[in-house]
Amino acid sequence: MLSFYLFFIYTKKSYPTMSCTKKQTKSERTPQEKENLVKQGNGKRLGLEGDKDLKFLLDGGNLVKIRSGSWQKSRFFRLQEDCETLSYDSQKILKKIKTYSINEIESVRKGRESEGLNKHTDPCDEDRCFSIIFNDRKKNLDLMAASPEEADQWVNSLEKVIGNMRNLDHQQKSEHWIISCMRKADKNGDNMMSLKEVKHFLRQINVEVSDAYAEDIFKKCDESNSGTLEGPEIKLFYSLLTKREEIDVIYGKYAKTDKQMSAADLLEFLQKEQRQVVTIEEALRLISKYEVDPVAKENKQMTKDGFLMYLHREEGFILNPAHKPLYQDMNQPLNHYYISSSHNTYLMEDQLKGPSSTEAYIKALLKSCRCVELDCWDGVNGEPVIYHGYTLTSKVLFKDVIQAIKNYAFKTSDYPVILSLENHCTLEQQKLMAHYLISILGDALLTKPLGKTVPTSLPSPEELKGKILVKGKRLNKLDAAFNHNVITEDETVSEEDEAADVTKENGQKPKSVKSKIKLAKELSDIVIYCKSVHFNSFEHSRDNQSCYEMASFKESKAFHLAEASGTAFMHHNMDKLSRIYPAGSRTDSSNYNPVPMWNVGCQIVALNFQTPCKEMYLNQGRFLPNGFCGYILKPEFQRDPSSQFHPNKLTKGPWLKKKNFHIMVISAQQLPKLNKNKEKSIVDPLVKVEIHGVPADNGKKETHHINNNGFNPMWNQHFKFEISVPDLAILQFVVEDYDAASQNDFIGQYCLPLTSVQNGYRHVPLLTKRGDPISSARLFVHLMLLDAQ
């Protein structure tokens, strides 16, 4: 089905507008009138036709762009006619127009919340400032309006357009993307397409075809023999282009009622192909929800367009829609959950000379990270700072980080945030740290135990909702919080110095890894449920440590324990929290594989969030379900004291549920061009399918590559995986651009727990390396998880 918008823009007929009479033809319209038509069409597509906020952005206005205290210049910003591109004149010698895609914007933040605005503007200008934050490493746009009212108008208008763009369904996003490519190919802007422009358009959408094929499809559509495609001819061209043969075959098999699907036909499809246990009522519900033809809907039938709409919506995605919202029991003790966790959260890049930033904390928290790290050192003017000690990384004020955490801790998830302190400060600056934690975080900071008696188990995420916990050294047991023991500052062993690990592993001479420091009582007293202790052995921890005492393990130590004493490690994690952190030798901020740590029940498996990599894809997938809240309940056998599970030595038990996992990679749609500056650079896509879980389940399959087609490549390749412990398995898709001479280039990825996968024909939405959606890009697969015979 072609949207009204596409037909509206590319039509030979005229439509009455405020500036166009019925007799006026398209060729007679002025450039301004054509531009108005485009704006109207785009506004209608976004559901904002005639909207005053959209008009405000299209008209544009002057804003002060701020880079430093001395570089603050006025620029004219506006939303372009496509309603998807924000632009301004750079005012350089060549008068180059700088553009930003609306799809690239992560958020718009009101006030002086960015580091740049906080540093380079006056507090009295708070209400005039706002920042545009982007998904990737692109620098923020820090801006100042002429008045608070104008700043509000910009922020509200941008948020409305961004929100409406994100709320488009897949079909609308697909059409929008194709229309954008059409407009770029329409070099002379006459809303017609010549053969040359058709060839240019095909390259825009990431497909290379022979001249003969391009001419053939052009002739089929050029019914008027005019040498250009116009109006209904473009509609025909669009239909031929977006025809999906695999959908035709599937639909045709079940459309047994006047070549349409009746409710009974749809029910048969749901039961046989999608393996759903449903009744006729579910089929009727889907028809009512997704059928686009009113006559078919009235007759309780589903057309092919309605069927495709269903496959492109939540019910047709690979992620079980029942697992998307919060669905797990959140009343178990804290240590019964995997907790999304970050290492060296303050860093934007590498561990040796990269910048430290409050923005890194904001980005991690908005990704539902629930445990962030703060490496605290004495700073100048008595102000504690955060940076990677013994290195050239830049420094950020401790109080600024705490303020950022206060502002963003619960934007994405209401469940508790843990601040993992590595404390290297003197007593005076420790006291100031405690002051900032208490005064800035206020009631959100947990400063005393929840109950009236010494705890024998940790509280649940539900009980700690909206709370921020401090993990660090404590001068005494938690009993002191109940009997009011008075403890003065005393010498204590600090947590293992991770910064010193870096220099140690790189051959430099560090300070002692276990140096003793004085610990301020004020800081000690706000460590409640996450007291840092040294790990000696599992037996020692069991016999001598309380549930609120926890150890941190360097990856090499943790991996050794998981391999040699997997069952004991798992039982340790049934009673206490464990934190795992990357080796100091990972100066490039690379990551270790988190899966073996989850396999033995470790909760705080800290990764370098700033580094987009395969390990972070797995982390994103692990925490994708359950409302993206940052907490995932561990399987029952990792919480049951009688369990003898060992991931490397599988024996009979409730964890052993042998399955055969069949997957057919059928096709992909609208993969992004990797080199947009080279028109003839077309991807040769292939798909890697991997299972990550216990060692016996790990597996990897790969399709062949398709030459010169990123628009609608088709593989139809079947793979089979044998699974022993499905509760711990993660399914990963990675799409790459094949290169015979060098390493393949990344196109997109998607991960999710195998237990959250839906059977049947499913679309897989693709994400960037950093976990952001790639608009309209999808895989189409068929999945079947069956009991092994």
* C-beta separation of 729 from 658 below 8 A: no
Establish whether 388 is a catalytic residue. Answer: yes
Residue 625, pLDDT above cutoff 80: yes
Model confidence over 741-786: pLDDT tens digits?
899 999 999 999 999 999 999 999 999 999 999 888 999 999 999 9
* C-beta separation of 55 from 22 below 8 A: no
Q: Give the DSSP H or E segment for 340.
A: strand 337-342
Please count the residues of the chain. 789
Cα(512)–Cα(501) distance, rounded to whole angstroms?
10
Q: What percentage of the chain reaches a pLDDT higher than 70?
A: 88
Instruction: Average the pLDDT over 469-495 and give the result.
Output: 73
Model confidence over 347-372: pLDDT tens digits?
988 777 778 899 999 999 999 999 99
Predicted local confidence at residue 20, as pLDDT: 34
Model confidence over 246-275: pLDDT tens digits?
999 999 999 999 899 999 999 999 999 999
Cα(13)–Cα(1) distance, rounded to whole angstroms?
20
3-state secondary structure of 153: helix
Instruction: Average the pLDDT over 445-470 and give the result.
Output: 96
Catalytic residue among 170, 388, 692, 763: 388
Cα(584)–Cα(506) distance, rounded to whole angstroms?
8
Q: Which of 203-217, 307-321, 455-469 has the lowest mean pLDDT?
A: 203-217
Catalytic residue among 343, 572, 646, 705: 343
Predicted local confidence at residue 187, as pLDDT: 74
Instruction: Average the pLDDT over 466-475 and give the result.
Output: 96
- Distance linking the first and last C-alpha atoms of the chain: 44
Distance of CA 543 to the CA centre of its chain: 41
Cα(283)–Cα(299) distance, rounded to whole angstroms?
13
Q: Give the DSSP H or E segment for 292.
A: none
Predicted local confidence at residue 438, as pLDDT: 98
402 confidence band (pLDDT: 50, 70, 90): very high
Predicted local confidence at residue 7, as pLDDT: 39
Residue 13, pLDDT above cutoff 50: no
Cα(424)–Cα(703) distance, rounded to whole angstroms?
51
Predicted local confidence at residue 485, as pLDDT: 58
681 confidence band (pLDDT: 50, 70, 90): confident
27 confidence band (pLDDT: 50, 70, 90): very low
Predicted local confidence at residue 41, as pLDDT: 52
Q: What percentage of the chain reaches a pLDDT higher than 90?
A: 66
Cα(373)–Cα(350) distance, rounded to whole angstroms?
15
For 13, the token pair is 């007929």
Predicted local confidence at residue 92, as pLDDT: 59
443: left (phi over 0), alpha (psi -120 to 50) or beta: alpha
Burial class (CB in 10 A: 0-12, 13-18, 19+), 671: buried
Model confidence over 86-113: pLDDT tens digits?
998 876 555 678 888 888 898 999 999 8
Q: What is the pTM of this model?
A: 0.87
* C-beta separation of 198 from 222 below 8 A: no
Predicted local confidence at residue 679, as pLDDT: 57
Establish whether 343 is a catalytic residue. Answer: yes
Residue 436, pLDDT above cutoff 80: yes
User: Which among 445, 421, 10 is positioned nearest to 192, based on CA atoms?
Assistant: 10
Cα(610)–Cα(349) distance, rounded to whole angstroms?
6
Predicted local confidence at residue 196, as pLDDT: 85
Predicted local confidence at residue 5, as pLDDT: 37
Count helices and strands in the chain by DSSP H and E runs: 25, 32
More confident of the two residues 726 and 477: 726
Model confidence over 118-167: pLDDT tens digits?
889 999 999 999 999 988 767 889 999 999 999 999 999 999 999 888 88
Instruction: Average the pLDDT over 731-739 and give the result.
Output: 96
Residue 513, pLDDT above cutoff 60: no
User: Which among 438, 428, 345 is positioned nearest to 384, based on CA atoms?
Assistant: 428
